[in-house]
Structure formats: C-alpha cells, structure tokens
Amino acid sequence: MTEPVIEPEARRLNVFLVDDHAMFRAGVRAELGVHVDVVGEASTVSEAVSRISAVQPDVVLLDVHMPDGGGRAVLEAVRRAHPQVRFLALSVSDAAEDVIGLIRAGARGYVTKTISPDELAAAVRRVADGDAVFSPRLAGFVLDAFASRPDVPVADPELDQLTNREREVLRLLARGYAYKEIAKELYISIKTVETHVSNVLRKLQMSNRYELSRWAADRRLV
C-alpha cells in the first residue's frame, strides 16, 4: 500500500495595497488577510513608491486613478528599482485606455472592484506565480491592443483634457448612475460629483448628461 502524497502548503504571499480610499483599503485588508499577509498600504503615489521599495512585497494591488498621479506612476517608479515586484491593477474603471495603459507599463493583470474576495485571492496567487489575470471582458481590450493593432497608441485629445476622477464620474454617469450612486461608488460626496460633472460639461463643451453619454459610448468608455 503506497503512502499518500502530502502536498506542501503554499507560502503565504506578501501583498501591498495602493488606493486613495481608506474605507476600500480596510475592506480589502479584512477580506484578503485570510489568504495573504498584507504588509503595507498607501494612499498616494509618493507614499506607495517609498513603502513598496522598503518592504518589497510579492504583489502590489494597485488602483488606477489617484489624486496625485495614478497607478501607472507607482508602477513605473517601483519597477525600475525592484523589477521582481509584481502588480495587479484593482480598479473601478474598466475602460480600454486604463487597462491597456497599465498593462503596457508592466502590470501582470487587471481586475475590477466587483471581484469577489476568493477570486481576488486567486488572482493575486496567479500573478505571483507569473500568470496574467484579467476580469473576463477586459481580456479583449488587451488582445485588440497587442495582437491586432500593437503599434496604435490609445490616445484621445478630448479625453486627455479630463482628470482621472472626471473620467470615472463620466463613465458611471454614462451608464445611467444617479449622482447619489456615483458618490457611493467612488466614496465622494454628491457635491463633489456635481462639481466633476460641471467640469466635464465645460471642458467638452456640452450642455447635458445625455450628450455626455453619447460621447462616452462613441469612445467605448461605457
């Protein structure tokens, strides 16, 4: 009778969180901490670069849009000095330009914040093991950019006028979200949502949310 083979227990991974919303970081830390060791967190680009360099985690969970820059700035700064650190984007945005921009900068995957805790833990493990991981509908963006049209940059002069936060608000507005729902989704006040919408209307020279929705749909932002 042969002895059963006992598989060695997988090493717990060291994970670092980068997101400008403290409540979201707390939720991820509580849910993901069952599976991995969360060794640090940051809310700004400068904090993230400094702290990630100090602890050198296995995987960084990285938000795309932050007030003082964004996930791409963190990724590019850290990868120059610590190429062994792997990055998994975790964002509310599922826009093609965000996905492609982060992957071109060196992220190993991109998932949206609708992902379940168990799925996120599995995605972190796969990225640490060297795999690429994407939320289902995002993989097509990457294939289009790197296989079909690898030399075509994702750029839009009108879109480039908008800040990262204004893009997030525009995307949710175009999906039919009410101001209150946008505020809840992005952890900001309704007044701040109103300000962002006014700024977007002014920059794009439009008069109402219906024009914005059509504009966003034409650019596959919805």
Please list the alpha-helical segments (H only) found in 83-163. Answer: 96-105, 117-128, 139-143, 157-160
Q: Tell me which range, 2-11, 40-49, 73-82, 152-161, is most confidently predicted by mean pLDDT.
A: 40-49
- Percentage helix, strand, coil for the chain under 3-state DSSP, each rounded to 5: 50, 15, 35
The two structure tokens encoding residue 76: 């590019």
Q: What is the pLDDT of residue 150?
A: 46
Mean pLDDT of the 173-179 span: 86
- φ, ψ for residue 65, nearest 5 deg: -110, 125
Angle of helix 22-32 relative to helix 117-128, nearest 10 degrees?
80
Instruction: Sketch out the chain's domains with CATH numbers.
Output: 14-146 (3.40.50.2300), 159-219 (1.10.10.10)
Residue in the block written with tokens 């984007």: 89
Among 99, 106, 63, residue whose Cα is nearest residue 81? 106
Q: What is the pLDDT of residue 145?
A: 57
Range with the lowest mean pLDDT among 101-110, 130-139, 170-179? 130-139
